[in-house]
Amino acid sequence: MADQRRVHRICAPGRKSPTHLALHARKRRSGSDPILYASLFKSARFHYVLEYPGYGDRPGKPSQQSFNHAALIAYRALVSAYGASKICVLGESLGSGPASFLATTENPPARIVLVVPFDVLEDVAQEKFPYLPVGLIMLDRWNNIDALKSYRGRVDIYGAKFDQVIPVAHARNLARSVPGAHYHEFDGDHGWANGNQVDLSN
């Protein structure tokens, strides 16, 4: 976890609640966001923000496979250090895909928080481009409904009422499709993260 091209870490002394691994949105970069995520998880002590392959200074090619693999490697390192029961994974927007993927692992995290997520990525794309054969074109095919169907940990889903990037109907549908999911909706858009609209501490 020492390679700063891959994972950025922030410590908040005095806090003792679970460790958080954040999988950021497409337009974010891990180096600028640890303090942001720390402000949202107000009770957590350790925060790690993963950088994706092909983003920032990290080499590699962006893809569903490379993102999932990077998330798994980072998650396993945190499990080794803290234990799965102490880890909460945050997936924001595109990051909801690899975050949900971690629910399918042999030793999944205790909690998953998804903010402005999609339900099925292909459905979002088809909605935006109704006249294109999206199913034949897309290479990345995250399906968060399928990934979370057997997960037994806590799932929190935050939808933004005025989201024009991933319309809130997708967050609502995902919440309906995940048994026991805690759904929260706020009066905001896809650029949600200001610490006032969303408090991820609980």
Averaged over 169-189, what is the pLDDT?
94
Read off the pLDDT band of 125 (50, 70, 90): confident
**Nearest in space to 44 (alpha carbons), one of 7, 92, 95, 9:** 9
Q: For residues 137 and 160, what is the distance between their CA atoms, to the nearest angstrom?
A: 28
Read off the tokens for 144: 């968060």
Q: For residues 3 and 5, what is the distance between their CA atoms, to the nearest angstrom?
A: 5
155: helix, coil or strand? strand
Listed by start position, the domains of the chain span 7-186
Mark out the alpha helices in the chain (DSSP H runs): 34-40, 64-82, 96-101, 121-128, 134-137, 144-148, 168-177
Predicted TM-score (pTM) of the model is 0.86
**pLDDT at residue number 14:** 43
Q: How is domain 7-186 classified at the architecture level of CATH? A: 3-Layer(aba) Sandwich (3.40)
User: For residues 58-83, b (16+ Cβ closer than 10 Å) or e, as one string?
Assistant: bebeeebebbbebbeebbebbbeeee
**pLDDT at residue number 103:** 97
pLDDT in tens, 65-107: 999 999 999 999 999 988 999 898 999 999 999 999 999 999 9
